[in-house]
Amino acid sequence: MSRILLSLIMSLAVLVANAQRICGFADYRQQIIHNTPGLADKITSIEAFTRRLQATRPQPSSNSVTASSVITIPVVVHVIYNSSIQNLSDAQVQSQIDVLNRDYRRQNADTANTPSYFQPFAADCGFHFVLAKVDPHGYATRGIVRKHTDVQQFNINDAIKFSSSNGDDAWDADSYFNIWVGDLTGGVLGYASVVGGPKANDGVVISYKAFGTMGTAAAPFNEGRTGTHETGHWLNLIHTWGDADCGDDKVDDTPPQQAAEYGCPSGIVISCTDGPNGEMYTNYMDFTNDACMNIFTLGQRERMRALFEPEGVRYPMLSSGALAATALDDTAGISGEPEAVALVSVYPNPAADLVTVSMTDQNAIGATIELYNQVGQRVISQKISQLTFQINIGTLNRGIYYLKINDGKSKNVTKLVKF
């Protein structure tokens, strides 16, 4: 019996030692492009936009970014569990958020492990990740959704992203970075959506065995770098070898590379035409173990941040209300004394463009109706000349808004959802 037990332990040790990173992004990318008409053209357009920005900007002059230019990204984590062990703790979820914040600000403790000849290219990417405080309906949230599923394992067909297939639906991709955590087939540690793909599929999926730095996270993928890697894809990065033999990752300061590197290489590894310093196998977008990843480059930073420029795919996220300090509820007032004039109805709600407001109190005539976003900014102000009228919200970003009568007395607020 003891010999059998020893044999099992040795076998497990060999499996762990030989564990290799498997990212499903390249296969998923081919799959989603094939199944989504027009996506290939959209990807080409996004790439052209990125190249134009890179061509018109000066070369980065600093490895760091200013505090005012840090981009804050609201996150929602969908924990999809079949067994109780997969229902990750809040602490484990937060440990992954902490890793993202260290790695994307180059505050990770292992920066010293970046080879000296690559240090000049190492970048603080200027992203800050925060679990959402307001859900898509305007209510307070911890930014974590927990949902039991009857599915034992998910593959890269996106079933985990939809309630109809025993997963969980995405929150509005223009306001939230969606992360799904569950059990994945075939040893896949994670995969990411394609920038420009369907919004209902937008986000990253990570195995519960490679998420965060505690609990179910298993070596050698227990330092949260799967999350860092997949988030890089979500921010439009490609594997360092361009998913081809000496392929193009669209970044000028990452050396050419023949194929993925695994484990923890050391010294100079030459392939393609990347001499004299060789491959950047410590890059987060390679396939090395968590402990051996420690760098994004200046070029990768510029590529990622291009998404948040005006007209960029992720630009709407900059006006997300998901991190409002206080979530408003249906009766929360913005200011004023006890209620005098009430809104009777707003329809349709949710709405995409025109909404009709109907009231019964003649005292509303002459007052102003105002629309506020989730952070309390007034986005529409309109005089009330009759009890039934329309408001055009077509130019507003999708999200939660609040209608209020501004007559110096009323504090009644009606919630309006723009989709």
Could you give phi then psi for residue 77, rounded to 5 degrees?
A: -105, 120
Q: Which residues contact 409 (CB under 8 A, 6 or more apart)?
A: 336, 337, 338, 339, 340, 341
CA distance 178 to 152: 21
Residue 71 reports pLDDT greater than 60: yes
Is 405 or 5 the better-scoring residue by pLDDT? 405
What pLDDT was estimated at residue 170? 97
Could you give phi then psi for residue 393, rounded to 5 degrees?
A: -110, 15
Average pLDDT value for residue range 94-100:
98
Q: How many beta carbons lie within 10 A of that of residue 300, not counting itself? A: 28
CA distance 399 to 419: 7
- What does pLDDT average to over the chain? 88
CA distance 333 to 329: 9
Please check whether residue 405 is in contact with residue 360, taking contact to mean a CB–CB distance below 8 angstroms: no
What pLDDT was estimated at residue 226? 98
Q: What is the DSSP letter of 184?
A: B
Domain positions in the chain are 19-319, 345-418
Report the CATH architecture of 19-319.
Answer: 3-Layer(aba) Sandwich (3.40)
CA distance 203 to 170: 8
Is 206 or 407 the better-scoring residue by pLDDT? 206
User: Minimal CA–CA distance to 124: which of 75, 177, 70, 73?
Assistant: 70
CA distance 212 to 222: 6
Q: What would the pLDDT profile of 236-258 be if each residue is shown by its tens digit?
A: 999 999 999 999 999 999 999 99
User: Minimal CA–CA distance to 21: which of 207, 269, 213?
Assistant: 207
The long-range contacts involving 269-276, CB below 8 angstroms and separated by at least 24 positions, are 271/246, 272/246, 273/246
CA distance 65 to 79: 32
In the structure, what pLDDT confidence band is assigned to residue 325 with cuts at 50, 70 and 90? low
Could you give phi then psi for residue 111, rounded to 5 degrees?
A: -60, -30
Q: What would the pLDDT profile of 350-372 be if each residue is shown by its tens digit?
A: 888 898 888 777 778 888 888 88
β-bridge partners, 130: 74
In the structure, what pLDDT confidence band is assigned to residue 2 with cuts at 50, 70 and 90? very low
Q: How many beta carbons lie within 10 A of that of residue 296, not counting itself? A: 28
Catalytic residues: 230
Q: Which residues contact 13 (CB under 8 A, 6 or more apart)?
A: none
What pLDDT was estimated at residue 308? 98
Q: What would the pLDDT profile of 274-317 be if each residue is shown by its tens digit?
A: 789 999 999 999 999 999 999 999 999 999 999 999 999 999 99
Q: What would the pLDDT profile of 122-153 be if each residue is shown by its tens digit?
A: 999 999 999 999 999 888 899 999 999 999 99
Average pLDDT value for residue range 82-86:
97
Average pLDDT value for residue range 156-164:
98
CA distance 371 to 375: 12
Residue 410 reports pLDDT greater than 70: no
CATH fold of 345-418, please? Immunoglobulin-like (2.60.40)
What pLDDT was estimated at residue 409? 58
Q: What would the pLDDT profile of 28-37 be if each residue is shown by its tens digit?
A: 999 999 999 9
β-bridge partners, 72: 128
CA torsion angle 283 287 224 292 (round to 10) = -60
What pLDDT was estimated at residue 193? 98
CA-to-CA dists, residue 184 to 34, 212, 229, 267, 396, angstroms:
22, 16, 16, 33, 38
Average pLDDT value for residue range 213-240:
98
CA distance 295 to 103: 8
Instruction: Provide, rounded to the nearest whole percent, the portion of the chain with pLDDT above 70.
Output: 89
Q: What is the pTM of this model?
A: 0.76
What pLDDT was estimated at residue 154? 98
19-319 and 345-418 have identical folds: no
Residue 39 reports pLDDT greater than 60: yes
What pLDDT was estimated at residue 18? 54
Please check whether residue 349 is in contact with residue 390, taking contact to mean a CB–CB distance below 8 angstroms: no
User: Minimal CA–CA distance to 60: which of 343, 305, 363?
Assistant: 305
